[in-house]
């Protein structure tokens, strides 16, 4: 099976999985609206819905997409190395981050022209930044970052918390698919 066929098949699975997660998210939101808001510590200013789970669904989807992108790009680079008998490995290159390193390897070492999917590549950087905030900072943003993250299409910042829209998930899935399929050819 070709890498492009694997990617297409995996994206179909992700789309089905995400469709079910969106349905589940809608159901949990309805249930959570009926729950009381409980203030745990009046002095901290923090309140939360004690039994809410909806806030974990979309961040999990962001992480799922990025994990798939990271894994697939690693495999695509290995494919290119073997196909083109490239001496260097993608790990040998220096770049700002892994996504940039993969792109640099594919364009510089493997000689791919990915200019047609530059917009998707740029959107994947936004996905990477959101994913990093979710993993390393619990989805919270401070200071000047609030303005930068608020400019990302499909992202809202409430107080200091990243709020992910359905459209952001759907668009990122499409951009990931577009970029990976172009890189895998």
For the segment 127-183, what is each residue's pLDDT rounded down to a tens digit?
999 999 999 999 999 888 888 999 999 999 988 899 999 999 999 999 999 999 999
Residue 105 near residue 92, CB atoms below 8 Å: no
Closest CA to 78 of 97, 105, 111, 96: 105
In this model, does residue 43 exceed pLDDT 70?
Answer: no
Two tokens, residue 94: 């220096």
Residue 7 near residue 173, CB atoms below 8 Å: no
The predicted model scores a pTM of 0.89
Taking all residues of the chain, what is their mean pLDDT, rounded to a whole number? Answer: 91
Closest CA to 179 of 82, 108, 106, 83: 106
Query: Residue 76: which pLDDT band, with cuts at 50, 70 and 90?
Result: very high
| For range 93-118, the mean pLDDT | 96
Q: Report the share of the chain in percent with pLDDT over 70.
A: 92
Burial class (CB in 10 A: 0-12, 13-18, 19+), 81: middle
Q: Tell me, what's the pLDDT at 54?
A: 86
The 3-state DSSP class for residue 84 equals: coil
Query: Residue 49: which pLDDT band, with cuts at 50, 70 and 90?
Result: very low
| For range 32-56, the mean pLDDT | 66
What whole-number distance in Å separates Cα of residue 29 and Cα of residue 19?
16
Which residues constitute the domain of residue 30? 3-184
| For range 92-104, the mean pLDDT | 95
State how many domains the chain has.
1
């Amino acid at each position: 099976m070709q890498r492009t066929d694997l990617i297409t098949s995996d994206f179909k699975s992700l789309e089905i999985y995400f469709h079910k997660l969106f349905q589940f998210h809608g159901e949990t939101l309805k249930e959570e609206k009926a729950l009381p808001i409980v203030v745990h510590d009046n002095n901290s200013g923090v309140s939360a819905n004690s039994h809410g789970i909806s806030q974990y669904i979309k961040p999990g989807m962001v992480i799922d997409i990025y994990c798939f992108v990271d894994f697939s790009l690693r495999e695509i680079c290995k494919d290119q190395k073997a196909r083109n008998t490239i001496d260097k490995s993608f790990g040998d290159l220096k770049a700002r981050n892994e996504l940039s390193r993969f792109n640099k390897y594919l364009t510089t070492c493997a000689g791919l022209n990915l200019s047609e999917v530059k917009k998707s590549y740029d959107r994947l950087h936004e996905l990477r930044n959101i994913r990093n905030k979710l993993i390393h900072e619990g989805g919270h943003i401070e200071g000047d970052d609030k303005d930068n993250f608020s400019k990302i299409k499909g992202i809202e910042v409430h107080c200091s918390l990243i709020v992910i829209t359905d459209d952001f998930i759907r668009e990122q899935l499409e951009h990931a698919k577009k970029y990976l399929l172009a890189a895998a050819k």
